[in-house]
Structure 1
């Protein structure tokens, strides 16, 4: 049993979230329908084609390896700072400070990118109903609604997320089972062998991993909501494993049926021949069900993006709150709302930042998807990969100092996951221009450099705290619960 440290009156809303709520708050960041309709056609086309289901199987195993150490440490450290708290307790306050600002940079950029994607997708979807508004109007509405939910109590956001994510799963599974019932393309498509290792390396395995890994981003949220969860020592481990398995199994099953529904031999030709590859899932929906299901899927794609926006907004607000509470950011960030017990200052600041970024991109006439989403969102992916590598090292260091836990879950599996994440971080950083279409200009190195720059700033902020208040520095990432 852990020893919990009591904190002052500025607490998050305790005992607000059960297992289902925490799990769906995690999955909402993964945005299942966005992954299926938006990322998977590109993963097929630019990655390894029919090797995508096997890629998901392998990544699910990697994420479970990461989770082994993550869960082991969650029984000792319950803190809304999550990756930050683990780094602080495992590697020391300076590393914790670095990860804290890295997280704020990563999740804000991911949020900003998704705001552009939501605007662009919404303009297309609602344009089909004769509602023709500029893309930035939809982005503006989303920012306002997300800000309201983030300002209020967390259980309200959780209820909205459970409904939206549940509908996402439902519409995709309707299409999945329609393909399954029809036997796939021409009734013979279900013979696709998803365990064919030759398919794994048939194209760009690295690109496939990056697209598929995006579907797991957000599993950190199980510990981000630790201070607000019911019985966190049980809820957090269960929600972590449950969310990984739900995401992994869902995408293995769905990508297999997307291949089967198109025909393995026609997959790349079909997707490559589309003016917009992201139309692939909607074509399958209309082919195997009816136009109404395809239309509903389009509307739910908008709600899927909204759910992801809300999830990342909550992450940012809580990281800001913890950074303020621990002395890295101004004290105001460490206060909670008197009535809602929400990290309202971080929520408001994030909303203002989103409005500024939206104004810049809309004012310059840049494309919401090709520019705002593609350029910025991969910064977030890079940051999360880097934080997962550091967290794996933190787990090894933490248990190395304090003992306990099995060698498999506290040393071997974290080492494997950490090495894989570190290698991916280096690859994405070096090839950022090719992955985002910013090759040939300063953006190809300026954008990814924001992550290590954030780490340096966080490290310096921690050093300043160490000099001004050594006792507070020593408490960084402290375990907090009822």
Structure 2
């Protein structure tokens, strides 16, 4: 087979994405069903905090404020390396180089971490239906090939596939919400939507888990070069996505809290290890809707994970493309296929990295104690998605600082609210969340006390990024 015809530039023919297409890419990255059935259940199981729904409202407001300055800057900068280019132009090229390394590690961590949940889910479903205990990593490798093929083709193909999957996800979660509100375990209450339910011991871990559910909303600018009208498409898609995600997750996590029971959640021994995580969701579905709905939602849970993987894969590939084009990575990464405009080398590189990391975790499983729970979920998924969220929150803080620096030199026609007020509030709010994540690593990893892993994981992200800044200097 001949090599793909490549180029280092994109043309107007590659601008295929509108507001809803970009918004679907964003929402797909946050994976609604994955968040509700996987993220919220894990958060409730680990933190024992019933105020998770109010936490989503707080985070949505903070991210919405961040998006004001972010969207203002996107009107003047269109680049597939969004965070890198924003920080470079607002805070200097060395800081931009550091942020590029930070972004690459964070997005890769999020994408590869989700592979762990997908492998576990597919393996468990097949074993339940056929009795075959297939290894989780087998399905991960097959999935990497499928996502890799999609990654080197037209981005609007990915958008169309994600649009269908996301619509189905919303539908089944809405069904779950209705049934949960109609069948609360301990009676109906609005307490989970109040500040008092959130600001208790464990609030830091609760917000840390919650921010991961929004990761991907900031990726709109990555598709600026492939959008029909980036100056309008990117801001509108960003605000649409964060609004929909925030409201939807607040309502759905409230429904799940009622389904489990606030009293059971607050009791440290209330949720057993066997039902912690996704079983909280699926056990309720089995009891109130039947096995057919469990099967339907299990399949859509898998496609939800797949949709998130496609979205994050596209984001990583485009970052690699931008950095290759800038000369910060090998030049071959800065090329796209002429026909599709897809960054084929960046896509291939991301697939190879995912394979290598998954092999490492698969080998590490040999020494795992099965009584501790599913390895793919508690290590690959938990470790890397939390690492990704940690990095992306820091990136948003840096971008908010860059917004102020960019408009300080030339305020253009941007008002003081967008170039100063919103970025300052975003730095304070998201900076607080970032510190809370850093101080709650052991809680998020399910550890009763600090271990070497508690310190190694943040260092995996921070040390290379700091080194990159000095290299840039």
TM-score, length basis structure 2:
0.90
d(CA) in 1 for partners of 2:259, 2:381: 29
Structure 1: state its 5+ residue gaps.
1-7, 464-482
Structure 1 residue corresponding to 2:395, chosen from 366, 380, 387: 387
Q: What is the match of residue 369 of structure 1?
A: 377
Q: What is the match of residue 396 of structure 1?
A: 404
d(CA) in 2 for partners of 1:457, 1:324: 19
Structure 1 residue corresponding to 2:445, chosen from 412, 424, 436: 436
Deviations 1:46-84, CA, capped at 9 Å, x for gaps: 336331111111111111111111111111111111111
Deviations 1:132-189, CA, capped at 9 Å, x for gaps: 3111111111111111111111111111111111111111111112334x3x327x83
d(CA) in 1 for partners of 2:189, 2:385: 36
Please say if 1:424 is aligned against 2:448: no
Q: What is the match of residue 36 of structure 2?
A: 36
The count of aligned residue pairs is 453
d(CA) in 2 for partners of 1:353, 1:56: 32
Please say if 1:450 is aligned against 2:451: no
Task: Kindly indicate whether the alpha-carbon contact (under 8 Å) linking 2:212 and 2:386 is maintained by their aligned counterparts in 1.
Answer: no
SS in 1 for 2:14: coil
d(CA) in 1 for partners of 2:80, 2:233: 14
The change in CA–CA distance for 1:274 and 1:435 in structure 2 (over 3 A counts) is: closer
d(CA) in 1 for partners of 2:70, 2:270: 38
Q: What is the match of residue 222 of structure 1?
A: 220
Deviations 1:97-145, CA, capped at 9 Å, x for gaps: 1111111111112222111221112211221111431111111111111
Give, in angstroms, the shift of residue 441 of structure 1: 4.2
Give, in angstroms, the shift of residue 405 of structure 1: 1.7
SS in 2 for 1:78: coil
d(CA) in 2 for partners of 1:224, 1:212: 23
Structure 1 residue corresponding to 2:248, chosen from 247, 250, 259: 250
Q: What is the match of residue 285 of structure 2?
A: 285
Q: What is the match of residue 370 of structure 2?
A: none
Q: What is the match of residue 409 of structure 1?
A: 418
Give, in angstroms, the shift of residue 431 of structure 1: 4.1
d(CA) in 1 for partners of 2:184, 2:62: 32
Please say if 1:236 is aligned against 2:246: no
Task: Kindly indicate whether the alpha-carbon contact (under 8 Å) linking 2:184 and 2:259 is maintained by their aligned counterparts in 1.
Answer: yes
Spell out the pairing of 1:52-451 with structure 2 (5 A cutoff): 52-130=52-130, 131-180=132-181, 182=182, 184-185=183-184, 189-268=187-266, 272-273=271-272, 275-277=274-276, 278-365=278-365, 367-403=375-411, 404-437=413-446, 440-451=450-461
- Segment of structure 1 superposing worse, 368-377 or 326-335: 368-377
Task: Kindly indicate whether the alpha-carbon contact (under 8 Å) linking 1:189 and 1:261 is maintained by their aligned counterparts in 2.
Answer: no
The change in CA–CA distance for 1:245 and 1:440 in structure 2 (over 3 A counts) is: closer
d(CA) in 1 for partners of 2:245, 2:147: 24
Q: What is the match of residue 11 of structure 1?
A: 10
Task: Kindly indicate whether the alpha-carbon contact (under 8 Å) linking 1:46 and 1:203 is maintained by their aligned counterparts in 2.
Answer: no
Question: Where has structure 1 moved over 6 Å in runs of 4 or more?
Answer: none
d(CA) in 2 for partners of 1:46, 1:358: 25
Give, in angstroms, the shift of residue 17 of structure 1: 1.1
The change in CA–CA distance for 1:136 and 1:48 in structure 2 (over 3 A counts) is: closer
CA RMSD of aligned residues (A): 2.1
The change in CA–CA distance for 1:45 and 1:355 in structure 2 (over 3 A counts) is: closer
d(CA) in 1 for partners of 2:257, 2:437: 27
TM-score, length basis structure 1:
0.89
Task: Kindly indicate whether the alpha-carbon contact (under 8 Å) linking 2:33 and 2:304 is maintained by their aligned counterparts in 1.
Answer: yes
Give, in angstroms, the shift of residue 274 of structure 1: 5.5
Deviations 1:301-349, CA, capped at 9 Å, x for gaps: 1111111111111111000000011111121111111322110001111
Task: Kindly indicate whether the alpha-carbon contact (under 8 Å) linking 1:83 and 1:220 is maintained by their aligned counterparts in 2.
Answer: no
- Segment of structure 1 superposing worse, 362-371 or 54-63: 362-371
SS in 2 for 1:364: helix
The change in CA–CA distance for 1:193 and 1:359 in structure 2 (over 3 A counts) is: closer
